[in-house]
């Protein structure tokens, strides 16, 4: 993650930057006082996700998501937003795709992003509504981008 992507928010008096490895850090305490989580962490790219690269993609796209979701279960938030990828659609029958189109990833990267979405949908169903009112997924087109956070995890305090 590039520091230039967070340059503006670094100057905000209520912003605290916590740099931690989401695979090993204790995530639940970082959610204290947090209402909204934007989950942007993950390993982007398709080419490197094949063969020996798959283990890293699984760790950073699936396992980090699972750890964060388990932390959210212990420290509930009002909203959880996950940045997915258009790679979950594979070779779509039409473009642009929309959220209701079938997901048929054709590469390991897309599979890991879809697995993370499915984990999120399990958490969303636990609120009893059947709609997952506190969870959402946004599927980005392309591999690069994001909101620019160093750890890949942004927590928003609405009192800002």
- Catalytic residue positions, numbered: 109
Q: For the sheet containing 153-156, what is the strand order?
A: 135-140, 79-85, 36-39, 153-156
121 token code pair: 């949908």
Closest CA to 84 of 145, 138, 28: 138
The helix (H) or strand (E) run that includes residue 155 is: strand 153-156
Distance CA 86, CA 55 (A): 21
Distance CA 121, CA 109 (A): 19
The helix (H) or strand (E) run that includes residue 66 is: helix 64-74
């Amino acid at each position: 993650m590039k520091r230039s992507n967070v340059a503006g928010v670094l100057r905000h008096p209520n912003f605290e930057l916590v740099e931690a490895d989401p695979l090993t850090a204790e995530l639940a305490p970082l959610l204290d006082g947090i209402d909204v989580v934007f989950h942007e962490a993950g390993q982007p790219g398709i080419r490197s996700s094949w063969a020996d690269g798959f283990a890293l993609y699984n760790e950073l796209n699936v396992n980090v998501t699972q750890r964060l979701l388990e932390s959210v279960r212990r420290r509930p938030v009002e909203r959880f937003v996950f940045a997915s990828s258009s790679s979950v659609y594979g070779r779509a029958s039409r473009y642009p795709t929309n959220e209701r189109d079938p997901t048929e990833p054709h590469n390991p990267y897309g599979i890991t992003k879809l697995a993370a979405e499915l984990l999120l949908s399990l958490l969303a169903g636990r609120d009893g509504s059947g709609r997952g009112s506190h969870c959402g997924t946004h599927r980005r087109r392309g591999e690069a981008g994001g909101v620019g956070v160093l750890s890949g995890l942004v927590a928003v305090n609405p009192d800002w």
